[in-house]
Amino acid sequence: MASMIPVGVQLYSVHREAARDLRGTLREVARLGYEGVEFAGLHGHDPAEVAGWLGDCGLRACGTHTPLAELEGDALAATIAAHRELGCPYAIVPALAPELRSTRPALLATARRLDAIAAALAPAGIRTGYHAHDDDFPPIGGQTAWDILFAAASPPVVMQLDTGNAHAGGIDPLAVLARFPGRSETIHLKEAGGAHGAAIGEGDLPWPRLLALCAGLGGTRWYVVEYEVEGVDAFDGLARCRAGLRRFGV
């Protein structure tokens, strides 16, 4: 299976290294064969400076994880300016407080907030969305919380599924992708099962089927690898993930 979809890294995978030396971390990510990075903060650096480092490394900003508070109200203008400086097309909400997603009314209200953010970002060419954790899938009245949220949110709100987190939440990630065609412009690829520290291709997920679904029905534009396993060197894990994806033609 061939793929033209580029592969990035969620930099939270190497957040300790990035906090110490963001520029060096970007260089190492590029050396491992990744094409982009999804930022989890800039560790105090100016967006213009970081944009220069990306150019030096041949990397693109494939997204950020940006808290909800930075996408609303007075903070929004600075968030848009930073994303424009980085050439970054996605500002994904990494997590939501339980009270924003624990009941159907709360989820419907959160969907409306995400819709409003999407509308505010659209003139700048930036998309928002929400990233999956394993506790985003409890059943609420016959549906999962995740399904309620994305059935209510408008199509411009990106469904950033995390394959490993969905599996950990007792959900088949392939079934979720199929239920929401075209909503997975950016998706986190994470292995599930296998030995401790398993990288992509070393565990239980059916990667050829999953990647084919992303490339077709899912409308995926960026694969984003996230690897965070205690006691395992993160760069080694990212190297094995990249090698695993290459074996699947990505």
pLDDT at 69: 97
Question: Does the pLDDT value for residue 89 go beyond 50?
Answer: yes
Round the average pLDDT of the chain to a whole number and report it. Answer: 97
> Which of 168, 156, 151 has the alpha carbon at shortest distance from 107?
151
Confidence of residue 197 (pLDDT cuts 50, 70, 90): very high
**DSSP letter string over 26-91?**
HHHHHHTT--EEEES--TT--HHHHHHHHHHHT-EEEEEE--GGGGSGGGHHHHHHHHHHHT--EE
Dig out the tokens for 10 from the structure.
């969620």
Per-residue pLDDT for 3 more than 70? Answer: no
Report, as an integer, the average pLDDT of 33-55: 98
27 is written with which tokens? Answer: 């260089």
Domains of the chain: 7-247 (3.20.20.150)
Which tokens in the block code for residue 192? Answer: 């599930």
pLDDT of the residue at 177: 97
Q: Is 186 helix (H, G, I), strand (E, B) or coil?
A: strand
**The model's pTM:** 0.97
Q: At what angle do helices 47-57 and 76-86 cross, to 10 degrees?
A: 20
Question: pLDDT of 138-175, one tens digit each?
Answer: 999 999 999 999 999 999 999 999 999 999 999 999 99
Provide the percentage of residues in the chain whose pLDDT is more than 70: 99
Q: What's the pLDDT score for residue 2?
A: 44
Over range 49-60, report the average pLDDT: 98
Per-residue confidence (pLDDT) for residue 239, from 0 to 100: 98
pLDDT at 1 (0 to 100): 43
Whether residue 206 contacts residue 173, with contact meaning beta carbons closer than 8 Å, is answered with no
